[in-house]
Amino acid sequence: MTTVESTKTIVEPRMHATRMSRLRVRSLRIVDTSGAMAGYTIISVTDVPDVLGDYPGEMRMLAQGLESEQVALSYRRMPQHTGGKGSYGHFHKTQEEIYFVVSGNLQFKLGDVVVEAGPGTAIRVAPEVGRSVWNDEPGEAELVIVSTRIAGDAREDTDYVPDFWPQ
């Protein structure tokens, strides 16, 4: 993997997917005739609420719906010109995050560095690093975020940085 200094773009030839289809999961019906409690949970991304409300795109936090005890998993769909540019960033007290770009091209501001990431790119961000993501491309982008699950209210682990990414 190399970085093009002029744009801080990460280049990894093996990570350029030729085609990725949009993430779609059908709701599943489980038939369990054993009578025993299952050690797994299956949900569709549409089974959990979109936390963005009226903001364009969607963000769905799946950990609660999955009844996950240790891992948090979020799905985000980002139309053009959505994300944190011109707005705030955030960092965490304890929570490490991994961002995985499923489709589209996104810009990430990590501290003072801006990197571009395309399909198949994974970015690990330590808790103390300020971060924000932005879609500047004409098409939509899809992103999966994986982290440790915070017991209780996860907002207590998050600090916001106003004016983190000026226009």
pLDDT of the residue at 3 = 53
Average pLDDT over residues 124-137: 97
pLDDT of the residue at 30 = 55
pLDDT at residue 6 greater than cutoff 80: no
* Domain housing 153: 48-167
Q: What is the CA radius of gyration of the chain?
A: 17
Whether residue 167 lies inside any domain: the answer is yes
Whether residue 61 lies inside any domain: the answer is yes
Backbone angles phi, psi at 156, to 5 degrees: -70, -20
When the pLDDT of each residue in the chain is averaged and rounded to a whole number, the result is 84
Whether residue 81 lies inside any domain: the answer is yes
CATH number at residue 62: 2.60.120.10
What's the CA gap between 7 and 9, in Å, rounded? 5
Average pLDDT over residues 133-150: 95
Among 2-11, 57-66, 124-133, 158-167, name the one with the lowest average pLDDT.
Answer: 2-11
pLDDT at residue 96 greater than cutoff 50: yes
Please indicate, yes or no, whether the overall pTM of this predicted structure exceeds 0.85: no
Q: Which of 148, 144, 156, 158 is nearest to 90 (CA)?
A: 158
The number of domains in the chain is: 1
